[in-house]
Amino acid sequence: MTDDLSHFDDEGNAIMVDVSKKLQTERVATAVGSILMQPKTMSLILSGGVKKGDVLSVAQLAGIMGAKKTPELIPLCHPLNLSSIKLNLECDRDHNRIVITATCKLLGQTGVEMEALTAVSVAALTVYDMCKAADKAMKIMDIRLVHKSGGKSGTFVAE
């Protein structure tokens, strides 16, 4: 079909891209996103008052697990041997949000963008799940890739 749509063959069938001829390089991707909430919800999280437990720690672990499970969730993703997953949740009291940043890394033949994006998404969903009894109006927002390096396409940095 086209190089832009590499997950389809010439007949339009979905395929997992063959990366066997690609060189192994260090691949790194960072994604960010946030979850907006009411001030009382932020206070509950920071004071440890959420009945389900330590929201930030559980969400951090969930995000890491999400990155590792990406090929089970996204049909055409390659199973990857990730060498590092760093996930940070930062409480921004001024804007009543938690900013989530995930960086995934490996030495391999394909990128880790989907793993970083999945980590952020799963962490945000976990915050929502743990706090929904207090705030059903929370908004998961602006999940996006902000950096990637490695491979033939080189480095990408979001504006």
pLDDT in tens, 74-113: 999 999 999 999 999 999 999 999 999 999 999 999 999 9
**Residues with catalytic roles:** 129
Which residues are CB-neighbours of 10 under 8 A, at least 6 positions away? 1
Whether residue 2 has pLDDT greater than 60 = no
pTM of the model: 0.92
As a whole number of angstroms, the distance between CA 45 and CA 91 comes to 9
Q: Give the E-state strand segments of the chain in sequence order.
A: 25-36, 84-92, 97-108, 139-149, 156-157
Q: Looking at residue 6, what is its pLDDT?
A: 76
The encoded tokens of residue 25 equal 């390089």
* Largest separation between any pair of C-alpha atoms in the chain: 56
Report the pLDDT value the prediction gives residue 13, as an integer from 0 to 100: 87
Per residue in 10-65, pLDDT (tens digit) is 888 888 888 888 889 999 999 999 999 999 999 999 999 999 989 999 999 999 99
The predicted structure's pLDDT at residue 20: 86
Q: Which 3 state secondary structure label does DSSP give 34?
A: strand
With H, G, I as helix, E, B as strand and everything else as coil, classify residue 12: coil
pLDDT confidence of 3, banded at 50, 70, 90? low
- Residue 2, class by beta-carbon neighbours within 10 Å (0-12 exposed, 13-18 middle, 19+ buried)? exposed
